[in-house]
Amino acid sequence: MTSLRQKMIEDMQIRNLAVNTQKSYVEQVSRYARHFQKSPELLGPEQIRAYQIYLTNEKKLATGSITIAISALRFLYGVTLKKDWSFRDLIPAPKVPKKLPIILSPEEVLQFLDCVRTRKHRAILTTCYAAGLRISEAVALTPPAIDSKRMVIRVEQGKGRKDRLCAMAHNRSDVPGKVMCRESRSISRRHWLLRSALVSRCVGDFT
């Protein structure tokens, strides 16, 4: 491990960046160095610009992938190498296109969940979709995190290392795009509820 790589890792650790972010930044800087076959310390704005053009025109990477590479280079040169540059001008980030998300209707979500035969898997998917949990958050879910009385799930140290509360019950008109499960067959199809018992069973299957 080179001294520059080690220093960059230490700088990220000091700032408490997420482990995945650290790995991603190190990998992006390594690719940048391999592209020019030189240490980043010997490269400057001209090489950075050429590398951005290379990623855009030759590699044809998605906007998100280019943004990660740019963020890694900004950290390297701004924090670790302490370059006094105007990064917005010298290392501009690509404009992110704005797209509308594809949102399933409650009927479509229920049709999908009905295709999942295993009760445990259906409970996991229902909980993830209803509460908006990420995969890592669902894996880390524990019984104490479920408050059946208040109908909320406590997510600890999720994305960005932030805690948050997720509602377990929703009304379709209030939270569009969230899955709502029928409390009973007699309830109107316009109203949906994620049952706390279903979530409790889901967690119980994990333990």
The 10s digit of each residue's pLDDT in 111-143 is: 888 888 888 888 778 878 877 788 888 887 777
Domain assignment of residue 98, yes or no: no
Per-residue pLDDT tens over the stretch 71-106: 999 999 999 999 988 887 888 888 888 888 888 888
Domain with 140, as residue range(s), is 106-206
Q: Which of 169, 102, 162, 120 is nearest to 137 (CA)?
A: 162
Q: What pLDDT sits at residue 198?
A: 41
**Mean of the pLDDT values across residues 53-62?**
94
Same domain, 83 and 134: no
Residue 145 near residue 154 (C-beta atoms within 8 A): yes
- Domain end, chosen from 33, 61, 90, is at 90
Whether residue 128 sits in one domain with residue 53: no
Of 65, 66, 82, 92, nearest to 8 (Cα)?
82
CB 205 within 8 A of CB 120: yes
Considering only residues 47 and 170, tell me which one the structure prediction assigns the higher pLDDT: 47
Q: 7 and 84: one domain?
A: yes
Indicate if 116 and 149 belong to the same structural domain: yes
* 95 is a domain residue: no
Provide the domain count of the chain. 2
Asked if residue 101 belongs to a domain, the reply is no
Residue 100 belongs to some domain of the structure: no
Same domain, 26 and 79: yes
Residue 99 lies in a domain: no
Which of these, 101, 199, 180, lies nearest to 141 by C-alpha position? Answer: 199
